[in-house]
Structure 1
Amino acid sequence: MKIWIDITNAPHVRFFKDIIHHLQEEGEDLIITSRKFGDIHKLMDMYGIDFISLGKHGVTLDEKLKESTNRVNELVDVVSSEKIDVALSKHSIELPRISFGLGIPSLYVLDNEHAVAANKLTLPLCDKIIAPKIIDVWKLLSYGADPNKMIRYDGTSEILHFKSFEYDDDILKKLELENSLPKNILMRPEPSLASYLDTDCNESVLSPIVDVLKEYSNILILPRFKKQAAIFEGIENVTILKPPVDTSSIIKKCDLVVGAGGTMNRESAILQTPVISCYPGVPLSVDQYYIDKGLMFRSNSTEEIINKALSFLVNPPKHTKIKHDDLFEIIINNIYDLAKKA
């Protein structure tokens, strides 16, 4: 069986890595495509994934449209000559459109109900859509999703990031970090270049939080791009991490995570590291999933975030067991199910 997987964002590399390795071990023929954006290429190399890079990410709306259109053309040239049985992606805009046009069955993984443009362009074209139960199904239907094509599960996509995770307790030593204080806080800035968030990539909501917490803890910043890294350069007790790094082990090793994004916050909740979300947009349902379970605290008040952070550093919350469906099995089963029906 020949399977096409398109990976268009850095967190999706961790999401797909175990699926890719499993399918390869099963003897399936994989075509893995990607694009130039963030740390995708470095992470693919880090996990030993062979891929074809086509296209890049656009910043402005007109650039996004042009780059996506160009990427469709480039991808068609690659996949149209292949006899692909199933196509698989997570929030790829191009794969569902190409699969629909070429008559390839497609399986689409979704976890962001606020990505209006992406969802409207893709959901009506997918043969199967896998989405968390926490997301309002009526929201997805409003984008044109077919309710008969939806598979819903209990949990979030980040549970797949840890299927083969091996914790490295010496991760901070291996990174040779000069930590002058006994506590460590990992921070992740907001996704300023995303189409669903209107923010200035020259600023960060984390800046005033860093200014205070740097006096109490070593701050590790994992920026998304160079301009974002520059915001935090030269600040005392602040270290800017250079990817690719073992973020999962860093999360587990740190005393606290403060994130203005989404994926790393949810990873922290799963790993039971205290996490504060200060995402500047409307919260995603998948974030609410962990907030409801008491595994994530959310606020946009700088004062409240700082006070909660100091509280977590002194009195970390107790661990809570999480029960969720086997997303890995759901995806694998639906890949083969689609192939049989093709």
Structure 2
Amino acid sequence: MKIAIDIWHPSDIHFFKNFMSIMEKKGHSFLVTSRKKDIITNLLDSYGIAHTVASRKGEGVIGLSRELLEHNYKLLKAARKFKPDIFLAFGGMSISHVGTLLRKPSISFYDTEHAKLIKLVTLPFITKVCTPQSYSDDYGKKQIRFKAYKEMAHLLPQYYTPDDSILDVLGVQKDEPYFLLRFISWNASHDIGVKGLSDKAKIQLVHLLEKHGKVFISAEENQLVPELRGRALSIDPKRYFDVISHAQLVVTEGETTATEAVILGTPAIYANPLLTGVMTEQIEKYGIVEHITNEEKLLTRVNEMVHDESLQEKLDVKRKMLLQDKIDLTQWMVEYVSNYPLKKSRKSSRSKFRRFL
């Protein structure tokens, strides 16, 4: 089988890399397309994954729309040469359009209900949408649900083992606590009109935590005020999960980092007003993530957590229950894609497609 995978976010790489490794051993081949955003191209290169850059990150609705057109064109050009049997992506905007034009099935994996722009330009054309069971939207026959979170495709114990050598990289002693803060850029299509923590709150948070250990910040350096830039995390992107797994506490505006933290057994606070079905399940069913957006309450709770000697023990119990409830998502993907009925005909939606271009 010839498989095209389209990458739009760094987390997409982690999501697909184990799937690709298993499928390549089974004799399948891949076309990977990417975009110039954050660390995407560097991360793909570091994993030795050959890829074609299809676009550069656009800013705002107009910039993202222009990028989508450019990305579609270059993906179409690469796909005509590669001749894939099937298209895969997390999100799936471009594969839904190009798959329609080439009359090939496109499968989107997705978990973000409030990404209205992505859904608007994807759902009319995508063949199948694979979502977690906790995903709140219903797409009828197009939708396939799996009992897992996307981060489980690469962070379950059978795929990932924390590496203690990250402590030397960070300059931290074995029993010395440290904290990770993750601040996002807020320029994704589903972030438009939403704001995160203020610079004042970020500074107060750092000063509070530094009384108890070193503080590392994951963010684009130009997002940080000068006072915080010296704490910006500078590591091989592949070591990010090692940083999370050894941290005493993670405070993050990004849902992906929050989910990664609890899967790895690290206490986490999610400081973002946007909630998906996945995050709601983690908060309400498992009680494994704390959701706090009020800055004063956040600082108070952080102070409580760093003094709570039973915090880790309580999290370990919840994490065990969570992992027992979920499946091996990578193996599920391998089985689903391997057995997908490629010979089934697909109707063209060219007229619909033109309305979005």
The TM-score normalised by the length of structure 2 is: 0.86
Aligned to 1:100: 100
Contact 2:196 2:253 in 1 (8 A): no
C-alpha distance in structure 1 between counterparts of 2:187 and 2:236, whole Å: 18
Q: Tell me the amino acid that sits aligned with residue 27 of structure 2.
A: G
Aligned to 1:142: none
What do the CA deviations read for 1:267-314 (whole angstroms, capped 9, x no partner)?
0111111001101x3212211121121210011122322222222223
What do the CA deviations read for 1:224-280 (whole angstroms, capped 9, x no partner)?
x23124555456xx353345241111111110000011101000111111001101x
What do the CA deviations read for 1:206-230 (whole angstroms, capped 9, x no partner)?
343223323333111111x231245
1:161 has 2:154 as partner: yes
What do the CA deviations read for 1:10-35 (whole angstroms, capped 9, x no partner)?
11111111011111111111111111
Cα displacement (A) at 1:150: 1.2
C-alpha distance in structure 2 between counterparts of 1:341 and 1:80, whole Å: 18
Gaps of 5+ in 1: 139-144
C-alpha distance in structure 2 between counterparts of 1:278 and 1:20, whole Å: 33
Aligned to 1:183: 177
Alignment of 1:306-317 (within 5 A): 306-314=299-307, 315=309, 316-317=311-312
C-alpha distance in structure 2 between counterparts of 1:256 and 1:339, whole Å: 45
Aligned to 1:80: 80
Cα displacement (A) at 1:326: 2.8
Pick aligned residue for 1:291 from 275, 283, 289:
283
Pick aligned residue for 2:190 from 196, 205, 209:
196
Query: What RMSD, in angstroms, separates the aligned Cα atoms of the two structures?
Result: 2.3
Contact 2:182 2:251 in 1 (8 A): yes
Contact 1:86 1:338 in 2 (8 A): no
Q: Tell me the amino acid that sits aligned with residue 324 of structure 1.
A: K
Aligned to 2:68: 68
C-alpha distance in structure 2 between counterparts of 1:226 and 1:104, whole Å: 41
Aligned to 2:223: 228
Cα displacement (A) at 1:90: 0.2
Instruction: Please state whether the residue corresponding to 2:189 is helix, strand or coil.
Output: coil
Instruction: Please state whether the residue corresponding to 2:81 is helix, strand or coil.
Output: coil
User: Are the structure 2 counterparts of residues 196 and 297 from structure 1 closer, same or farther at C-alpha, using a change threshold of 3 Å?
Assistant: same
User: Are the structure 2 counterparts of residues 285 and 137 from structure 1 closer, same or farther at C-alpha, using a change threshold of 3 Å?
Assistant: same
C-alpha distance in structure 2 between counterparts of 1:218 and 1:81, whole Å: 50
Aligned to 2:250: 257
Contact 1:201 1:228 in 2 (8 A): no
C-alpha distance in structure 2 between counterparts of 1:232 and 1:53, whole Å: 35
Q: Tell me the amino acid that sits aligned with residue 304 of structure 1.
A: K
Aligned to 1:91: 91
C-alpha distance in structure 2 between counterparts of 1:49 and 1:260, whole Å: 29
C-alpha distance in structure 1 between counterparts of 2:150 and 2:229, whole Å: 35
Q: Tell me the amino acid that sits aligned with residue 262 of structure 1.
A: E
Contact 1:202 1:227 in 2 (8 A): no
Aligned to 1:270: 263
Instruction: Please state whether the residue corresponding to 2:339 is helix, strand or coil.
Output: helix
Aligned to 2:20: 20
C-alpha distance in structure 1 between counterparts of 2:257 and 2:121, whole Å: 26
C-alpha distance in structure 1 between counterparts of 2:226 and 2:270, whole Å: 19
1:120 has 2:120 as partner: yes
Pick aligned residue for 2:332 from 325, 330, 333:
330
C-alpha distance in structure 2 between counterparts of 1:334 and 1:137, whole Å: 21
User: Are the structure 2 counterparts of residues 232 and 64 from structure 1 closer, same or farther at C-alpha, using a change threshold of 3 Å?
Assistant: farther
**The structure with more helix, counted as a fraction of residues:** 2
Instruction: Please state whether the residue corresponding to 1:196 is helix, strand or coil.
Output: helix
C-alpha distance in structure 2 between counterparts of 1:153 and 1:202, whole Å: 33
Instruction: Please state whether the residue corresponding to 1:30 is helix, strand or coil.
Output: strand
Cα displacement (A) at 1:178: 6.1
Gaps of 5+ in 2: 345-357
* Structure 1 segments (4+ residues) deviating >4 Å: 199-205, 229-232
C-alpha distance in structure 2 between counterparts of 1:182 and 1:29, whole Å: 45
User: Are the structure 2 counterparts of residues 46 and 296 from structure 1 closer, same or farther at C-alpha, using a change threshold of 3 Å?
Assistant: same
Q: Tell me the amino acid that sits aligned with residue 187 of structure 2.
A: L
